[in-house]
Each structure stands twice: as structure tokens, then as C-alpha cells.
Amino acid sequence: MVNDPIGDMLIQIKNAAAAKRKSLDIPYSGMKYALATILVKERYIEEAKKIGDNPKYQLHVILRYDNGNSAITDVKRISKPGLRWYIDKGAIPTVVGGMGTAIISTSKGMMTGREAKRMGIGGELLCEVW
């Protein structure tokens, strides 16, 4: 049993990218799908879609490579099940000098740190990707 499904998803994507795999399948959940859509929008992965039959849906993720190098250099899980990390709008971090992305779960849904700053809201800092 996985205690941290978001952390598990991030590490699976990071490991698949390090192994130069084209795609991977991850057990589906709405939160994982929302995170994957942000990664697609921020151009860290090519595509994420729900496949399979109910109740065993899978999230099919196609990884992105630029000149043979993975678009994802590293991921860092911030808020964990044992220690939640909440931030207000003024504490949203800049990741790797603006080259990375902070992903935040807010009352308005999951979004990047830049979107949360623009909307003036804080939330749970899930992870940083660069």
C-alpha cells in the first residue's frame, strides 16, 4: 500500500525519465490527473490521459525529451502526509531562479506558483519541479 500517492507518482515519472522510457502507466486518481495536466501545461511531459476500465483506471503519461535530455531534471516533494506544508500568497517560492515550477493545491484547485501569486492565494505546497 502506498502512503504517499503523489510522491510515488513524481518519483515514477523521474525514474522513467532517467531510464529514457517513452511512457509509463500510473494508477489513476483525480489529484494525480490534475498534477499531470499542470506538468503538460508547463511542458515537463508530452501528454497525460486516463485509460482502462472502471475501477482500474490508469494514467498514461508520455514523457518529454529535448535533444535526448529529459525535460524533468529533478522533482522535490514538499508537503508530505506526515508533515503538511501550507503557505500564504507572500511565501510562494521561486524555484531554481524562475526556471522551475512550484505546484500548489489551493481552494480554487491545483495550480502553479505563478498562477497562485497572480490570483493572490496560498495553499498547500505539494512539490517543486525543474
Strand positions, DSSP E, 64-129? 65-66, 69-70, 75-77, 86-87, 101-106, 109-112, 123-129
Give the domain 5-70 fold: Ribosomal Protein S8; Chain: A, domain 1 (3.30.1370)
Summarised one tens digit per residue, pLDDT across range 19-75 is 999 999 999 999 999 999 999 999 999 999 999 998 899 999 999 999 999 999 999
Please, what sign has the CA dihedral across residues 107, 100, 72, 84? negative
CA distance 80 to 104: 13
Instruction: Say which CATH class 75-129 falls into.
Output: alpha beta
Beta bridge partners of 59: 26, 50
Return the pLDDT at 54: 86
Domain residue spans of the chain: 5-70, 75-129
